[in-house]
Amino acid sequence: MGFIGSILLLAGIYLLVRRTIFLVNANASISPIVSVSHEYVPKGRGSVLAYVPTVEVLDSQRRSQRLKVDTFNESPVYSIGQQMHVVCNPVRGCIEDTFAARWADGLLDLLISLVFFAPLLYYKLFTPSTRPTVSLNSRPDA
C-alpha cells in the first residue's frame, strides 16, 4: 500500500509542478472561438469523437495566434464567435479557465495517495508497539 501511495504522491507532485510551470507564463483572457474541429480525443481506455475549440489570443508581441484549447465535448456546444474563458501559454497551449482545469489532475492524485497512506499512518500512530520493553528496575532471574 505504501509503495502505491508513494507512486501516486510523486505523480501528483509532478502534475502540480508541471501545471504551475504552465501557469507562470500564461495569461487569462476571454477569447473568441475561431474554429471547432471534430476529432478523436483520449477518454478512459480509448478515444471518442468530440468537438475541440480553437481560440484566437494575442501573444507577447500583440500578434494574433490561434491555439487549440485542451478541452472537448462530445456534444456540439461550441460555436464560432462564442467567447471562452481561457488561460493560454503561447508555448504550451490553452486550457479552460476553471479551477478543475487548472488543478484537478494533481490534487486528485494527491488525495488518492493519501487514501493509500492513511492505513499506514493509522498503523504507525495508533497501534500499540509490539517491541519488548525493558524496565530499569527489572532483574534477570538467577
pTM (predicted TM-score): 0.70
Type and span of the H or E element at 126: helix 99-126
What percentage of residues in the chain have a pLDDT greater than 90?
Answer: 39
pLDDT of residue 33: 96
Task: Give the Å distances, CA to CA, from 102 to 70, 83, 130.
Answer: 11, 19, 46
- What are the tens digits of pLDDT across the range 91-102? 888 999 999 888
